[in-house]
Structure 1
Amino acid sequence: MSSTETTKVKPREGFSSRKVFIFAAIGSAVGLGNIWRFPYVAYEGGGGAFIIPYLIALVFFGVPMLYLDYAIGHRFRGSAPLSLRRLHRGAEWLGWWQVLICIVIAVYYAAILAWASKYAALSFTKGWGSDPEKYFFGEYLKAADTPGPTFDFVPGILITMILVWAVTIGVLAMGIQTGIGRTAVVFIPVLVIAFVVLVIQSLTLEGAGAGLNAFFTPDWGALADSGVWISAVGQIFFSLSVGFGIMITYAGYVSRKTDMTGSGAVVAFSNSGFELLAGIGVFAALGFMAQAAGSEVGEVLGSGGIGLAFIAFPAIINEAPGGVVIGVLFFVSLVLAGITSLISIVEVVIGAVRDKVGISRTAATFVVGVPMAVVSILMFSTTGGLYVLDTMDAFVNSFGIIAVAAVLMLAITYAFRKLPILRQHLDAIGSIKLKGWWPALIAVVIPILLLVMLYQALTDKLDAPYEDYPAQLLNVFGWGMVVALPLIAIAISLLPWRGGVSLEDEPEALVDGGEQA
């Protein structure tokens, strides 16, 4: 008797409609990086001129990669490991590599979300005081003088991290539609409304025009710099949640008749539209800060990321008329964007565990969520958490997400030869026909770009220690993690699957309402 006949399993969970799926996918894509990374990357990449490589990267890089993830998940109806196992026996380990990457990202992403939650509360009273930089690093994070992990816990961070994980686990335990779907349908419109109000408020500030000029004035000479084009590709890559299992997982939760290419275009352009909106709001506020300080916009922008969110913006809020409103809207937006992204990241792990061992959603949520929460809290509620977070983020993005995406595309194209099947699947159900242009991008153009990005990241980190951090920190949480993840993934792929799960490509047998997970 075959494994598919031994156990009758429940129908696979799913989103109730295409609309809910799109909201959930947008919720995953729109995250912290849209708000604090894109404005800085665009400014450094030539301002208004950056829009050209950005849009080209979106159309010829981001959207095709999104379609690849959708094709795998929607065609093979499983988590990342199960979908890839059904695609080809030798592909399963790539799915577990993606799962492990999601575990790493989730444990530190929760810490940043906890910081944003704390600052959302502080923004009502400008509780960071007159020196936001001193407060953030000194009073709030209590960052250790020497980079590296510590066991000195910071109660203020500990409490908010517990709350973040409680909300995340609670939403995921409610299920795909009731938890993830409904959360996205509520949170994403609220996020957009909050950010539109923030942008309007920022545009009324004195000096906002100068900020927008700095953001949109094109530096056409930047287009001759290959680094700007690579930067545009990187921004699209990291902001669309492609390459590490999220969209594979989500695509397996929608009806077989769903228009995946049309849905992907909506998600991709919605994500980029929000990034442009974020750029307008952030630079209008930075223009005010520059005018008040008598300096250039670039001088108050800093390096983007954490510095922009937790130092530059509190400084703006301290000085701006109606600063409390701006502060509340900004940090609430960070929380809303962050929580929907964190939920999607953890769902990749839950879906994989459920498929592999066959336990209920509630059990899988707690089996996955509680250990991740404990590790996250122990590592990042300490005085050394910032340094560990920075190291893990830098290395898992460069040598995790980019590497697995490149390997996956090359393997599907040349080793497994499954690209025609995936294209046929999307063309059969999609409103946007892929024909020959999509396979060419997936087989040649995009892997080359990813390998260039990988080489660039490798040379940068080999030329000099990242941020001049100690070798022990980099070797354990940087290079050590990079090497360990694919090896662990291979080991997990050798473990047996539960009885009752079909490991073969049987799309006709897996119909809506009775799909085997």
Structure 2
Amino acid sequence: MAREMWGTKLGFILAAVGSAIGLGNIWRFPYMTYSNGGGAFLIPYFTALILVGITVMMLELVLGHSTKGSAPLALKRLKAKGSEWIGWLGVMAGFVILTYYMIIIGWGAVYLLKILLGGFPTDFEGFFFNDILELSAGPGVLGGFSVSVLIAVVAVWLINFIIVNSGVKEGLEKTMKVFMPILFVLILALVIRGVTLVGGMEGIEWYLTPDFSKLTDVQIWIDACGQVFFSLSLGFGIMIAYSSYLPKKSDITRNAFIISLMDSGFSFLAGFAVFGTLGYMAVSKGVPFEEVVAQSIGLAFIVFPQALSLMPVGGEILAAVFFFCLIIAGISSSASLLESVTSSVMDKFNVSRRKAVVAVTICGLLCGLIYTTKGGLYWLDIVDYFFSKYMLLIVGILEVLVAIWICKGDKLVTYIDSRSELKIGKLWKYVVGIIAPLILLVILAQYTLTFLSEGYGGYEWIYLYLGLGVVALSFIVSFALPFLPWPKKVESWDEFVEKEQNDDESDMNGKQGKITKSDSGVDA
């Protein structure tokens, strides 16, 4: 069957940006900027964006575009011995992350509904942990399902199913053409309100005031590189799948820059909304700014809603806007994760899109049920730690080494330059092939040393071992899937690209023949 294509260049850009812009852009980037030297953090951040983010983004786009396949098929075409499993490892990482990413979107949906129906609570921390999550005493106490969360998660899975089942052009593209403009308008509304509040500019000052002394701390550089890699959806197989749906004549370099810069710009913009509002909260409560700042889930589900509740008018409306932003950003990313897995299943088993998305949806929902229990937050935290900090880095390192050094480094450079206005030359090969994996290896080593010496989150080792078990299972599945046969012979990268070029030349000659014949008729 012919491979689906994006209807427009804008549709691809919005879908790719929608994948990159997720929940972390709204709560993780602002906090990391604040806690890592304010404005000074932007120096290592944009350095990492160029050396790691854009270069690896370009690699994933060229892998998908040149092979017209999902991550496993792309790595298979490269013909590196046994490289297909690396593609599956990225897909497995995306699948596992998808199973708990849906839960966070579900939390946002339940929170939004409860605020709309009952207004703001008096105790935000108790409201989130007790009323919504019904949190148990620890990971060893599942305590049954949190019914409201379970219902919301099923609804979120259903929405994602509808989007991905509708196809690339009719589902993903049309949805993101609606979602992305709405998301930017809503976040801009929060920014305008945040910076115009009393104390808002003080919060922005805390957000951006540079502490250049932190630039000598290795940790700020590690945090910046990690944020860039995770935020751009690299290592999931998403960008490989998305670029495989691009028309033949697509500017790979320009697309990589646009996607990366739009994602970074949105993160930076979201910080103005968050810290402008928190500045107002500090002034309203008469406490130092440091006392109102929290990170991660606490910032999104406890502190920020509490800040909005302090407003004399319009707080509930802004809270609805904020959680609607979280839901839209979450669905735009979760749909891309679902598409990455679905496209891989379609390629490997030659099944229809509907059969593939049904299978992945049912399997993902069942695997994610543990996170909807009353002990689910603990398991989400544990599994997320191993997959967001380790698995994606491993996939990125392996992907770069195989594509650049074992297979087609020079040919990929030629391929990119032949389709891009901005010529990257061999400089890109050395940046993405040497600097990027070295940076990722340093980050991976630092995370590993910290884990071995301190563990994580105060959890007992038995639970951390179970989290590592999920990682091990992902490796086992990734190693096993390449042993299953492909429905038809997979052409090598050289064979496939040459065939594509010959098809282009045939089409061109056919068009020229028609023009010549027409012209000769007129002349006669």
- Give yes or no for the alignment of 1:102 onto 2:91: no
Please give the alpha-carbon distance, in whole angstroms, between the structure 1 residues aligned to 2:195 and 2:69: 45
**Aligned partner letter, 2:479:** I
How far apart are 1:485 and its partner, in Å? 1.8
Select between 10-19 and 174-183 the one with higher mean Cα deviation: 10-19
SS class of match (1:343)? helix
How far apart are 1:205 and its partner, in Å? 1.4
**Aligned partner letter, 1:301:** V
Counterpart pick for 1:395 among 386, 407, 427 = 386
Moved over 3 A (4+): 125-128, 500-505
Select between 428-437 and 263-272 the one with higher mean Cα deviation: 428-437
**Aligned partner letter, 2:469:** G
- Give yes or no for the alignment of 1:136 onto 2:125: no
Please give the alpha-carbon distance, in whole angstroms, between the structure 2 residues aligned to 1:59 and 1:453: 17
Q: TM-score, normalised by structure 1?
A: 0.94
SS class of match (2:83)? helix
Q: Which residue of 2 aligns with 1:82?
A: 73
Deviation string 1:156-176 (CA, Å, 9 cap, x unpaired) is: 101101110000011111001
Q: Which residue of 2 aligns with 1:67?
A: 58
Please give the alpha-carbon distance, in whole angstroms, between the structure 2 residues aligned to 1:107 and 1:423: 36
Please give the alpha-carbon distance, in whole angstroms, between the structure 2 residues aligned to 1:287 and 1:263: 36
Q: Which residue of 2 aligns with 1:383?
A: 374
Q: Which residue of 2 aligns with 1:261?
A: 253
How far apart are 1:298 and its partner, in Å? 2.3
**Aligned partner letter, 2:162:** G
- Give yes or no for the alignment of 1:470 onto 2:460: yes
Deviation string 1:22-72 (CA, Å, 9 cap, x unpaired) is: 010000000000000001100111001111111111122210010010011
SS class of match (2:116)? coil
**Equivalent residues of 1:65, 1:243 under 8 A apart:** no
Q: TM-score, normalised by structure 2?
A: 0.93
SS class of match (1:467)? coil
- If you compute each CA radius of gyration, which structure gives the higher value, 1 or 2? 2
Q: What is the 5 A alignment of 1:87-236?
A: 87-89=78-80, 90-124=82-116, 127-148=119-140, 150=142, 152-236=144-228
Please give the alpha-carbon distance, in whole angstroms, between the structure 1 residues aligned to 2:397 and 2:115: 42
* RMSD (CA atoms): 1.6
**Equivalent residues of 1:71, 1:423 under 8 A apart:** no
Please give the alpha-carbon distance, in whole angstroms, between the structure 2 residues aligned to 1:149 and 1:298: 34
In structure 2, the CA distance between the partners of 1:508 and 1:126, relative to structure 1 (3 Å rule), is: farther
How far apart are 1:508 and its partner, in Å? 3.4
**Equivalent residues of 1:148, 1:387 under 8 A apart:** no
Please give the alpha-carbon distance, in whole angstroms, between the structure 1 residues aligned to 2:303 and 2:157: 27
**Aligned partner letter, 1:508:** E
How far apart are 1:411 and its partner, in Å? 2.4
Deviation string 1:475-495 (CA, Å, 9 cap, x unpaired) is: 112x21222322321111111
Please give the alpha-carbon distance, in whole angstroms, between the structure 2 residues aligned to 1:411 and 1:349: 21
**Equivalent residues of 1:356, 1:497 under 8 A apart:** yes
How far apart are 1:126 and its partner, in Å? 5.9
SS class of match (1:78)? coil
How far apart are 1:122 and its partner, in Å? 2.9
**Equivalent residues of 2:78, 2:407 under 8 A apart:** no
Q: Which runs of 5+ in 1 are unaligned?
A: 1-9
How far apart are 1:418 and its partner, in Å? 1.2
Q: Which residue of 2 aligns with 1:448?
A: 438
- Give yes or no for the alignment of 1:28 onto 2:28: no
SS class of match (1:253)? coil
Q: Which residue of 2 aligns with 1:38?
A: 29
How far apart are 1:203 and its partner, in Å? 1.7
Please give the alpha-carbon distance, in whole angstroms, between the structure 1 residues aligned to 2:75 and 2:489: 18
Q: Which runs of 5+ in 2 are unaligned?
A: 507-524
Q: Which residue of 2 aligns with 1:336?
A: 328
How far apart are 1:506 and its partner, in Å? 1.0
How far apart are 1:139 and its partner, in Å? 1.6
**Equivalent residues of 2:102, 2:153 under 8 A apart:** yes
Q: Which residue of 2 aligns with 1:486?
A: 475
Q: Which residue of 2 aligns with 1:271?
A: 263
**Aligned partner letter, 1:492:** L
